[in-house]
Amino acid sequence: MIDVMKKMPGGMPSLTQRARSSGAETLAAFRIRRTSAGKRPILIVEDEYLIAADLEAQIQEDGGRMARLALSLDAATEELETAGSEFGGVILDVNVGGDTSFGIADALVRAGLPFVFFTGYRGISIPDRFVGVPRIAKPAGWHELKRALKVARERILRTGLGSFRDSVEAALPALRDRARRLSRNPEDADRLVERTLEHAISAVGDRSLRLTIEDWLMALLEKTRSDGDSSRLH
């Protein structure tokens, strides 16, 4: 499967080529994901030089850890294509040179490389597929970003490829299976899932980013049943 991917010297799949095999993507991501973060350098994707340089200095003061700067999306792409597997994490500004960095974020998700969104724009809507990615508002220092990167890394190690269990669509089969284990009647089980999703709409603002959507929905399903909602379905 590996030969269907365009590989670059750093070992990370090219951001300009899509893999023709999801299995190949998974293998590549697994290699990066299981490598210890240790003292690996942090990539800072930020178009404001003073902010990027200040973060770089803070990172270097934190035990001599190194950082690399990418002041544009093109520079970030080049860094990741040539040395992606070397990075311990990525600090990703949402708006870089007037463009959003969501394309870079998609590539980081596929590669299993932990990252955080770093933004000063409250009005920018981040797509739902990144719901589990930590978001740090400017101004913030390295130590806050470091904690967020740790959360991002733990989430990847726990759930596999970043977005796989962070979408409602992906979680539905497991949710339905759990409901049918709790209820002998398939129709009642499906209604329990419906009620759980209704609760999810009203409770989404309280969801912890430490939980994947699948884990969160499973907990809601259990709560829906224990609160007696399932008894109303008969």
The model carries a pTM of 0.57
pLDDT of 58: 92
115: which residues sit within 8 A by CB, 6+ positions away? 89, 90, 91, 92, 105, 108, 133, 149, 152
User: Side chain identity at 151, as an amino acid letter?
Assistant: V
d(C-alpha 127, C-alpha 145), whole Å? 21
CATH of residue 39's domain is 3.40.50.2300
Judgement on whether residues 228 and 114 belong to the same structural domain of the protein: no
CB 18 within 8 A of CB 7: no
Q: Identify the CA nearest to 45 among candidates 28, 67, 18.
A: 67
Tens-place pLDDT, residues 53-66: 999 999 888 877 88
Structure tokens at 199: 């609760």
Domain end marker among 110, 140, 159: 159
Judgement on whether residues 152 and 204 belong to the same structural domain of the protein: no
Judgement on whether residues 38 and 148 belong to the same structural domain of the protein: yes
Tens-place pLDDT, residues 71-94: 999 999 988 888 777 888 999 999
Domain that residue 73 falls in: 2-159
CATH of residue 173's domain is 1.10.1740
Residue 216 has a CB neighbour count (10 Å cut-off) of 23
pLDDT of 159: 59
> Which residue do the tokens 């299995």 mark?
23
